[in-house]
Amino acid sequence: MRGPAAILLIFAFIAVGISEGVYGADPAALQTPVTIQADSLSYESDNKRYRAEGNVEVSYDGGRLTADKIIYEESSGSIDAEGSVELTKDGDVLSAGRATYNVLTERALLTNGQLFFHENHLYITGSTIARTADQSYYATDATVSSCDGARPDWRFSGKEVDVTVDGYGFVKDMTFQVKNVPVLYLPYLIFPAKTTRQSGLLFPRITYSQDKHGWDIVLPFYWAFSDSADATFYQRYMDKRGFQEGVEVRYVVGDRSFGTVYGDWLRDNKKVIEVNPTGLERSWTDGEDRWSWYVNHETSLPSGWFFRTDLRKVSDPWYFRDFESYNYYLDHYLQGEEKRFGRVSFLADESLPFLDSSARLVKDWPAANLTVFAQYADNLQSDSNDGTLQRYPEIAVTVPTRSLFGPSVLFAVDSLYNNFYRTEGYRGQTVDVRPTFSATLGPDVPVQLMPYVTIIGTAWDSSHSDGISEDMGGSRGLFTAGVRASTEIFRIFDAGFGGYERLKHSVKPEVEYRYTPLVGQDDRPDFVDEIGSSSDIIYSLLTTLIGRNLSAGVTSYRELLRLKISQTYNCLESTRSLRSAGDERRPLGDIFVDLTIDPCRYAVVNADFQIDAYSGDWNATNCYLAVSDARGDVLSAEYRYSRSSIEEVNLSARVRIVDALDASYIYRRSLLEDRTLDQSYGLEIRRQCWSLSLIYSDQPGDRRYMLMLNLLGLGTIGEASARAPSF
């Protein structure tokens, strides 16, 4: 796809967002009187007409009009203005050499005028601009651009532009111009001029995958079919696989219910014969039906009831492996719980071992909480899901910590019923009840003591799917008791450097003893976790450094350093009988170190270590370093290690070569597997009203080329990764 054809495809799907017009107030709501200030002001009582000249300023209902000269008709609310006319409201600006404006109806007619919409930084100019009705504008010899200056980098121009804010825009004889030079012509263009939801084509996603998909083009269409629901249709063509159709429906029911339903389908024509690292095999030669679906619904009621579903299913264990470069779930991954319609909670790539579906019903009372939960898991590492353990239902009743016999004695209860099911293996039910009693001793002394005891009662009943194996039923009763002692030592210093006036250094030692007796549990099925005996001493040391800053009368605090070191001493292991001559006791557990250094906005270090107390070897560690500067350069490095499981190095850099040009680099390598997982190079050219990104990504089995064009106020054309920053 080359030349004019490619350009036409890109701009045929451009969607323009225009902020809400400032001249559309309800005339009936206009009660504020008009005030006029000027160098010269006169009033004709017979005609109820004001004449003003020189630095004229008219104020009305939160808006303002300035001009060199005006005539104001008090009876009709009409203003004729000349010379440097400017109307402003809520940051939006309407300017012209000459204008007629009515403060009651807010209709306007401008000569050689310009509209500036602040929200989208969008300019519309025309030899004449008329505000024909509420939120509607008509312009002749018009241009549309988000670029500042008399000679914008890009703009649309047309003989006529008709725009209804929160509706559609129509352009006749449209040309797309670069530096006022036409490069594309369309006889007619329709675009959504939306501040809220409007139907229309969204930006296409265009990439080229050299190994997996070939040309990969997604053309989304957005349909707002009612005030409480909308849909997005994803038409995706992959020339090495076929045509995938997907649809997302989003809805709101009343003030407290909302949800998302998504599904896609593809007849995959790619022939594949392979075995993945987990040993899963496939041999696809005749075309395969590939599909997925997802349902997220949430309802909250004022009576304290809450209901949520997260249901998802894919056609085969290879789905996320084949489409890990882009899929709906990655595109909506963890955009935040505060966003109703971007709440996919799992990372949908080849590393996903299980795909869980769940439903939850919650009821809150002042003194208790009820949760009814169901979960179904799909094993993506196996052809069969028969042996995967499912939980439905799970019923939990919780009494949160509350005072008992006074504020120093506390009481809480956790109780749980579970029904476990699977097609092959043991399935059955469990009931578990755990009341906890604790007390706070010495709240006004340097060392605080908190003794506690948790009583654990569990009963279970199970049977095997083969009908031959012996049923397992039984119960256990035991307790966990302990005492926790803690204190805090701190000192406050005068700083006078780094913007901090004071520093607080705090040291918090804590020691806890925890005991659980030995109780036989040999008759339990595999879905009942064993509670082993223990006699442990857990000790930790937490030190923090907090800086206080006082700027412009506002006090702020920053935790500059946080270091926690902890370890467990196993008393049972220290007295264990030795089994052989070479046997030795190892009561000391691993040393855990958690470190955060956050001295300023331009640098941060996060590190955690798990160290063998006897050999000094690292059993696990995660280290992350990020540095940046005010110019915009960013460098980050990450090291992840877990013995015999993972050893990986991740590097990323963004360098601001000049103010308008950035270069980026991403490198991920598995040291354990001795292979490069990702190597990406990028360039981004930025201007005031547009940016262009070029990215090449080389991953095992997939090399991709990406081109992304962003027009300020209009959006992005191209593709950006859902898992990594798009530079």
CA 352/CA 344 separation, integer angstroms: 13
CA 38/CA 59 separation, integer angstroms: 12
Structure-block tokens of residue 499: 């913007």
The pLDDT value given to residue 716: 46
Q: What is the DSSP string of 59-122?
A: EETTEEEEEEEEEEETTTTEEEEEEEEEEEETTEEEEEEEEEEETTT--EEEEEEEEEETTTTE
pLDDT tens-digit map of 55-68: 999 988 778 899 99
SS3 210: coil
CA distances to 159, 386, 594 from 471, in Å: 83, 19, 45
Residue 687 maps to a domain: no
Where residue 674 falls (left for φ over 0; alpha for ψ -120 to 50; beta otherwise) is left
Pairing relation of β-strands 281-284 and 167-178?
Answer: unpaired
Residue with tokens 């009409």: 78
**Domain final residue pick, 162, 197, 232:** 197
Whole-prediction pTM value? Answer: 0.71
Please state whether the peptide bond connecting residue 393 to the residue before it is cis, i.e. omega within 30 degrees of 0: yes
Contacts of 359 (CB under 8 A, 6+ apart): 307, 308, 309, 310, 311, 373, 374
Structure-block tokens of residue 457: 């009662």
- State which residues of the chain have pLDDT below 50: 1-32, 715-727
Pairing relation of β-strands 409-421 and 167-178?
Answer: unpaired
Residues in the chain: 727
Residue 148 DSSP label: -
Structure-block tokens of residue 26: 């309800």
- Please say whether the beta carbons of 250 and 230 come within 8 A: yes
CA 58/CA 65 separation, integer angstroms: 5
The pLDDT value given to residue 197: 53
DSSP collapsed to 3 states, 444-471: CCCCEEEEEEEEEEEEEEEEECCCCCCC
Single-letter amino acid code for the residue at 52: A
SS3 24: coil
In this prediction, what percent of the chain has a pLDDT beyond 90?
A: 50
Q: Residue 551 belongs to what H/E stretch?
A: strand 534-551
The pLDDT value given to residue 185: 83
Pairing relation of β-strands 390-403 and 200-201?
Answer: unpaired
Structure-block tokens of residue 461: 């009943």
CA 396/CA 544 separation, integer angstroms: 37
Contacts of 391 (CB under 8 A, 6+ apart): 373, 374, 375, 418, 419, 420, 421
Structure-block tokens of residue 371: 């949760």
Q: In this structure, what is the dihedral angle of CA atoms 591, 594, 595, 598, given to the nearest 10 degrees?
A: 180
Count CB-CB contacts under 10 A for residue 278.
Answer: 11
Residue 475 maps to a domain: yes
The pLDDT value given to residue 30: 39
CA 79/CA 94 separation, integer angstroms: 14
Q: Residue 484 belongs to what H/E stretch?
A: strand 472-486
- Please say whether the beta carbons of 699 and 163 come within 8 A: no
Residue 253 maps to a domain: no
Which CATH number is 37's domain given? Answer: 2.60.450.10
Number of domains in the chain: 2
Structural domain span for residue 139: 3-197
CA 470/CA 525 separation, integer angstroms: 11
- Please say whether the beta carbons of 44 and 72 come within 8 A: no
3-state DSSP: the chain helix, strand, coil percent, rounded to 5? 5, 65, 35
- Please say whether the beta carbons of 416 and 395 come within 8 A: yes
- Please say whether the beta carbons of 671 and 648 come within 8 A: yes
> How deeply is 53 buried, as exposed, middle or buried, from its count of CB atoms within 10 A (0-12, 13-18, 19+)?
middle
**Domain final residue pick, 591, 606, 628:** 628
CA 50/CA 70 separation, integer angstroms: 8
Q: In this structure, what is the dihedral angle of CA atoms 425, 426, 428, 432, given to the nearest 10 degrees?
A: -130
**Domain final residue pick, 599, 628, 657:** 628
- Nearest residue to 237 (alpha-carbon basis) of 261, 269, 262: 269
Structure-block tokens of residue 624: 């992350």
Residue 295 maps to a domain: no
Residue 206 DSSP label: E
User: What values do phi and psi take at 321, rounded to 5?
Assistant: -70, -40
Q: Residue 12 belongs to what H/E stretch?
A: helix 3-12
- Please say whether the beta carbons of 146 and 123 come within 8 A: yes
Structure-block tokens of residue 329: 């779930």
CA 233/CA 264 separation, integer angstroms: 10
Q: Residue 652 belongs to what H/E stretch?
A: strand 646-658
Single-letter amino acid code for the residue at 392: Y
- Nearest residue to 218 (alpha-carbon basis) of 232, 205, 203: 205
Structure-block tokens of residue 109: 């007619």
- Please say whether the beta carbons of 636 and 626 come within 8 A: yes
Residue 67 maps to a domain: yes
The pLDDT value given to residue 443: 63
- Nearest residue to 165 (alpha-carbon basis) of 198, 195, 123: 195
> From the CA atom positions of the chain, what is the Rg in Å?
34
E strands along 276-326, which residues?
281-284, 288-300, 305-314
Residue 412 maps to a domain: no
Residue 358 maps to a domain: no
The pLDDT value given to residue 625: 97
CA 46/CA 73 separation, integer angstroms: 11
Q: Buried (b) or exposed (e) across 109-147, using 16+ Cβ within 10 A?
A: bbebbbbbbeebbbbbbbeebbbeebbbbbbeebbbbbb
Residue 256 DSSP label: T
SS3 526: coil
- Please say whether the beta carbons of 705 and 207 come within 8 A: yes
CA distances to 35, 189, 265, 292, 570 from 234, in Å: 53, 22, 11, 13, 57
Count CB-CB contacts under 10 A for residue 476.
Answer: 18
Structure-block tokens of residue 416: 């749980």
Residue 43 maps to a domain: yes
Structure-block tokens of residue 599: 């001295």
The pLDDT value given to residue 34: 87
Single-letter amino acid code for the residue at 483: V
CA 636/CA 42 separation, integer angstroms: 68
The pLDDT value given to residue 201: 63
